[in-house]
A and B are shown apart, each in its own frame.
Chain A
Amino acid sequence: MKRCIMRTGMMVIITGVLLTGCRQELPLPPSETAIALDGQLDWSRARLIAVQDGERYKTLDSFAREAFSEMYGKEHLPGLSPLASVFEWVFNKDKYVHEPVIRVKEAAVRHAFAKHFPAAEREYIREKGYLTPRQIMNQGVRAHIEELGSSAITIRSANRVRQAEFIAGMMEQLMLVVPAKEEALDAPWHSPKELIANLPEDLLREAGVEAQRGGPIPGYTAREAVDLTVTWASLRQGWQKGDAEAVQENLDKLAGLLPGLAPAGHYPGESQRAAEAHYYAMGKLTWGWLVYFVGAIASIWLLATGWKTPRVVAMLFLIVGLLLHAYGVSLRWYILGRIPVANMFEAVTGAAWAGVCIALLLELIYKTRVFALAGNVTGFSALIVAQYIIPGGGTLTSIRAILDDVMLRIHTTLIIFSYAFIFVAAVIALVYLFGYYRHRYPRQSTLSGVVVALLGTVLIGVSFGAFKGVAVGGPQPLWQVQLFGWLLCGTLILAIASLVWTRASGESITWAAALLVAAFAVGLGHQGFLFGLASSMLIGGLAWAGATAVGRLGPGQLQRGFAVVPAGAEGALPLQRPIMAGGAPGDEGRKDEPLPGWLHTTDWSHLIILNLVFVMLFVGIILGAVWADYSWGRPWGWDPKEVFAMNTWIIYAILIHTRFIVKRRGLWTAWLSVAGCLMMVFNWCFVNFYIVGLHSYA
């Protein structure tokens, strides 16, 4: 019965998540003609046409998805496939002059733009964030884009809008599908329209077409030019008329013609193009977070009960998630022809895969339950971040010149793998902290969870209330919010200091710490960040409080699972630590504060991963220095990224030494592990994007 209730609860959660993910809103009425046409076409050949774009060769399908993502915020127009969207846009662009198709991401920019329009339009722009091509030409909007572009702080926002506008205006010119005839591999390709310059003059006169600027494309014969331009023109005509047969014929003809025009060996291989199309069609496999999510729920269940069923479920989902994850990473590797560690998306997904691997391996060896949970949570967190948060959404990109080196790849791989292990360790640390406080201070622990959840709820309100109407360069400058934040910050530091000094109770410290975090978040003045943090606080706090309460009041099996089993007691779990946990002292022998056996197990599980982290992070940093030495002639430049990697390692060095001098070794280890993880996250996210340095590309 109990199992049945738990299973049902799990299914409800999963269904809820799935339904939330499936909700979509349509910002513009879809074109019925195009939808009908799209339904009748077989895109299998056309999607593999190669396009030279963004410093690499990609499929037309990828081009369509990426172009629309930048312009429209989604990979396609409503109701259309990405490929149909791109042709609809190229051939019927004029139809969309008054349609909201240009996405403005930042709420503050939307508010600023919206000011220039009547009330109805204003509300739509603010709420949905879409402008029409006509609206973007509004003088007030143009002036505001210029203003944003003139400031070093807001230039990114300006460039995003400019890029969306540029793609909307120039999509046909950007569709560089016509291969260069030059032998050089980097020679620029051309759009079909450019071939008009190669057409015979009499034909141009007859068609009443003006010669193109820029002169003919070198190497193309008039025959080839005629073939391609006629096919392109027929495709355009067919599309505009909604003639599926003509469109299909010309699409296939185009797909057949283009590869043959490139010099031998220059056109990207078909298997790679097919892999790329497949990769995009599979949503880059980032939806694998769902599998890990189910695995994580089962792992919590397993952790609480130690039953066989949740173990099978948790391990099954962990393995399936890992296989899907591996498939995504290897597909990307194959498509790019290099190890995928060159940008944030690749680093996060690749590293998390390694983290899940190690967690699975350790779970299989030691069967401690926490590794299963840590693996599932690591995979879930990485893939959900990759799918929804990382800027660019995992677009396939070329590697930066400076990164294209074998030693750097080893360095990067080691570093990001160690980061994943740090995350795995932090999950185990949280489990330990939860267990420790639940065991030692159950009431305060529950209340602390409630406090965090409450503050999260308030902050969600603040994230909408305080930032409403705040526009970049607008009448309500962010400094007011920031000033408030910093003042609050100063007050709270004093408050916390006094609380710690007077050895205040657990909830008071939690209150103070949570308020401090909240003040910093408000002080940073970023609505998205504040909302994300607030949601995490709400969910995390509720989970913490709920789990503690359930643990205390729950069924007998749970009570038994978390019960104190003194070290060496009759019938107790064997507490001898495995070799991999190293030789640092543990809490097992302490008589003054007996802990449940599973906490000792969690502690040495934690040490196994921490030992790996300590060595890998150090070696990774050093290999980076080796690379920097032979690349820049300087192994160490005190660049923020280097400094914070070193700081992360220092935290683990402190952790190792702290175990020799404190009484509650497991507790200190867990807190320092969480601190190390926060330092790593700060280094990976904040330093990368907000602090200028040599690693700003990473």
Chain B
Amino acid sequence: MFSSSRPPLADWYSNPIIRFLASIRLGVFLMFVALVYASVLSALPWVRAYLEMTEMQAFGHWLFVSAILLLCVSVTLATLTRIRFTVKNLGVLTVHTGILVLCIGSVVYFGTKIEGDVTLRSPRIQVLSTANAGRPVAELLAEPGQSWTTNAPMLGGAIAVRINDLTYDDNNQRLTQAKVVTRIGDAPAKERILIADGADIPIADGRIALRLRTYPAETRFFDREHAALFYRPAGRDWQYVDLIGLPYFRERYLDEGYQLRDTAGVAIPTKRTSPTIRVAGVSVPTGWFEPWRMPLPRTLDEAPFDVVVTGYVPYTSTRAIEHYSEGGGTLNPAVRFRLRVPGGEEQTERTLLADPRRALAPFKTPFEFRLIEDDAQRSTLLRPGVGAHELHIKLVDPPFEQTLAITAGQEIPLGDTGYTLTVSQLLPSWPMMSPGFENADSPAAMIDVVAPDKKYSRTVIQRFPSLSQDIDEQGVRHREGPYDPNLTLHYRSLGNGWVYLLATADDLEAGRITLAQLRADGTVSQELAALDQPVGLPIPGVDLEFALLETLTHARRTQVPLLEPVDQRENTSPHQRSAVRLKFTGKGELAGWEDNQWAFFSVYPHIDAMPVQVETPTGPGGALERWEVVYSRLPHDLGAELWGRKLGVTYFPGRRTVSAWRSDFVALAEGGERPESAVVETNGTYSLGRWTYFQSGAAKDDWSFTTLGVGNRRGIWPMVLGCVLITLGCLYAFYVKPFIQQAQLAAAQEKAAEAKRRREAEAEVVAARTSSAPLEV
């Protein structure tokens, strides 16, 4: 085989196409092309970002793969048509074979490569506070020897919980029960048995409970690059549809009449919204090269609607702007308005709801929206004031009523009633905590009251007088009602004025409101404001222009993302902080129905999901049916069930930096009978079925969960073989072939010398013969 004096397909070389393909120049050119492609797309991440390609996508691109395959063809033809199959050429033949095997292995490997991760949560004992809606106050890893202590004098002293023993099921896969010992104060320790996900075990007179929390097996992992949309009717199983083709690095959203902004208020306009590039004013379609699409339509099986992704933004902030639109399922009146200084560019838009928590815009002159039922209510709100701070006092017995201007520290005797009021504080903003009013705030006056038979302090809340509370002589706060029902107080703060946006239900339907302004001098003015008709609104310090933009009766809240400022972005995993705008369009009976919402990225659909609520009138009798939609990552089947056991962490001296992680878990392969214990650690993988697991992430608390990277390795062995062949071939070509060449050269020289000697000898013989031959005359 290795003694041919001609290359195997030397005859083909006469064909010009073959000669071109087999030329070294083409090979060098293709290597140069690969080098330039790799350099540009690797060293200039913004180029990849511009084209919306991750590294794996860029190097799995058909263009690059084609160049590599053409190089393979060139190498093959060059080998077969130009290189003789001799022992001397064994090196180059081996190297070329290695390159072919490596390239083929790589094409298979990267063509089928899937990579993602799965998070395994460790089983744990939860310490729950029954007073705090059963929320965990502490958690500890379910492992013998783990303990938790806290000092709680109100519960009887120090509370200690220690895990003594754990029991697993017959297959050693599921944790079924835990024996814990609890001790409260000086009381004797008690052993308790916790059943996995069973009833909570109360301790400390039922004010604390213990629970053994385990997690179901993980059967799927989630793709590192590709997104998916999960959807389900509330309470049912998730279905999903892939979002392959979604952008990755840049903001790309179709025009819906608004621009997104960053947290500093700077507008972040969309980048290209279709894969085209403008060159000298001409649009060049680049969809053949770029992998992303916008809009990205998807059909949702078994759902009454389909979805189109109309926007994608990476680097979303943890904050978002609330946006309200008509279409909610319940009555929720709201008004949207715009304020601007006439002639100026700056303007602000606000939506205020009748919901007291969202009814107030805390400008210097506050704006408050009120849904009023009748004129009496309107008159009460709009009665003229008597000063910057006004207190209305009313006694039932003896009858007494007075409205007066007040200041902090002012003492107010109430005639002969025996009551004396002292204004202890005037607070511009009093945060509410009452249920239904959380995070609302209101101006408030703190009034100390001395009554004939009692002494107490009353917090008089301007916006919600009924929520005013008394604190009696014992310091007890009377939440259920006034300590002294005989006295009624109303407070108004008008120092900076107050603007009311008042509307009845009919007004909202008709698209109008009453814009009323209470001024510090006590005067009141009101005007009817209709949609998109600017109204002058002079408030202290500035003349504003008010425009009513929208009135809503069934406002529905959606969120519009706020983005991170460009210079604060770290260029890692932008999609993990992304959001997509989804346009839901009804189908079948729901044709014509439409809804738009932004959905924020959830790392896992089943762990930290942030579902978007979609309400469709498809329930019984046209009632609203609620669907949940989660924007997360594309799932892949693990072909196994995995249960997390424990995360182990070791540190460098000082315990500030981790030196290694170790994840212990249990794995049961599909169709397998018994699960096996498995370990993945730093620099140590584990393989099961077609997936290889590696350490990818870990909980900051060092125990509660571990994240395993998951990937396949199809084509790896051809790649290994190719590399070995290339190495051996190079060594042969560089360090063995020269010896063969030298030996051959020496042999040739010897042969030539021998031939020369023979010729000379023959010549001598001929000469001798000639000289001994008789001369012919």
A→B interface (CB under 8 Å): 52-53, 55-57, 150-153, 176, 185-189, 398, 401-402, 404-405, 408, 579-583, 611, 614-615, 618-619, 622, 625-627, 629-640, 643-644, 646-647, 650-651, 653-654, 657-658, 660-661, 682, 686-687, 691-692
Contacts and interface: CB of A to CB of B under 8 A. Distances in A.
Contact of B738 (A150, A579, A636, A653): A579
B299 interface: no
Interface stretch (B229-237, B342-350, B592-600, B727-735): B727-735
15 contacts: A55-B652, A152-B568, A186-B651, A186-B653, A401-B661, A582-B737, A626-B720, A629-B685, A629-B716, A630-B685, A631-B683, A634-B711, A640-B42, A644-B43, A654-B31
Contact of B567 (A151, A625, A687): A151
B741 interface: yes
Given A401-B682, A583-B737, A638-B56, 19 more contacts: A55-B656, A150-B567, A401-B658, A579-B739, A582-B738, A618-B726, A622-B727, A631-B682, A633-B685, A637-B55, A638-B55, A643-B39, A643-B42, A647-B35, A654-B28, A654-B35, A657-B27, A661-B24, A686-B43
A152 B567 CA distance: 6
Contacts of A632: 685, 694, 709
B28 A398 contact: no
B652 A56 contact: yes
B28 A633 contact: no
Contacts of B572: 692
A682 B39 CA distance: 11
Nearest to A578: B738
Given A55-B652, A633-B709, A650 B568 contact: no
Contacts of B35: 647, 650-651, 654
Contact of A629 (B24, B34, B115, B713): B713
A206 to B, nearest CB: 30
B474 interface: no
Contacts of A402: 682-683
Contact of A658 (B28, B650, B685, B710): B28
B89 to A, nearest CB: 10
A189 B35 CA distance: 51
A633 B692 contact: yes
B196 interface: no
9 closest Cβ pairs, A-B complex:
A55-B652, A633-B692, A643-B42, A638-B55, A633-B694, A405-B683, A186-B651, A611-B734, A151-B567
Interface in B658-691: 658-661, 682-685
Interface in B104-134: 106, 109, 113, 115
Nearest to B660: A401
B655 interface: yes
Contact of A644 (B42, B656, B661, B727): B42
Contacts of B659: 186, 398, 401, 404
B570 interface: yes
Nearest to A582: B734
B653 A650 contact: no
B43 A687 contact: yes
A615 B56 contact: no
Nearest to B680: A633
A692 B571 contact: yes
Interface string B713-727: 100100110010011
A55 B657 contact: yes
A186 B692 CA distance: 31
Interface string B26-45: 01100110110011001101
A608 to B, nearest CB: 9
A651 to B, nearest CB: 7
For chain B, which range describes its interface: under 10, 10 to 19, 20 to 34, or 35 or more residues?
Answer: 35 or more
Given A153-B567, A583-B737, A615-B734, A657 B24 contact: yes
Interface in B401-443: none
Contacts of A582: 733-735, 737-738
A653 B31 contact: yes
Contacts of B567: 150-153
Contacts of A633: 115, 685, 692-694, 709-711, 713
Given A614-B730, A630-B685, A654-B31, A188 B655 contact: yes
Given A654-B31, A692-B571, A579 B742 contact: yes
A152 B42 CA distance: 20
Interface string B7-24: 000000000000000001
A685 to B, nearest CB: 12
A185 B727 contact: no
B54 to A, nearest CB: 9
Given A631-B683, A631-B694, A638-B55, A55 B742 contact: no
Contacts of A638: 42, 55-56, 58-59
Nearest to B58: A638
A583 B58 CA distance: 37
A402 B684 CA distance: 10
B654 interface: yes
Most chain-A Cβ atoms within 10 A of its Cβ — which of B39, B58, B660, B713? B39
B120 to A, nearest CB: 16
Contacts of A640: 42-43
A696 to B, nearest CB: 10
Nearest to B567: A151
Contacts of A55: 652-654, 656-657
A401 B698 CA distance: 14
Given A579-B739, A651-B35, A615 B730 contact: yes
Contacts of B109: 636
A57 B653 contact: yes
B735 A580 contact: yes
A56 B651 CA distance: 11
Nearest to B78: A657
Contacts of A398: 652, 657, 659
Given A402-B683, A631-B694, A646-B38, A185 B43 contact: no
Contact of B34 (A583, A627, A650): A650
A639 B58 CA distance: 11
Contacts of B660: 401, 404
A186 B710 CA distance: 31
B478 interface: no
Contacts of B38: 643, 646-647
A635 B719 contact: yes
A637 B56 contact: yes
B25 interface: yes
A15 B711 CA distance: 60
Given A630-B683, A633-B711, A633-B713, A691 B43 contact: yes
A153 B565 CA distance: 12
A631 B653 CA distance: 24
B773 to A, nearest CB: 40
Nearest to B23: A661
Contacts of B654: 52-53, 55, 176, 186, 188-189
B569 interface: yes
Contacts of A661: 24-25, 28
Contacts of A626: 720
Contacts of A151: 567-568
Given A55-B652, A638-B58, A640-B43, A622 B723 contact: yes
Contacts of B570: 152
B663 to A, nearest CB: 13
Contacts of A176: 654
B31 A615 contact: no
A654 B35 CA distance: 10
A189 B653 CA distance: 8
Contact of A650 (B31, B56, B684, B737): B31
B727 A618 contact: yes
Contact of A615 (B59, B656, B682, B731): B731
Nearest to B739: A579
Contacts of B55: 637-639
Contacts of B730: 614-615, 618
A475 B694 CA distance: 48
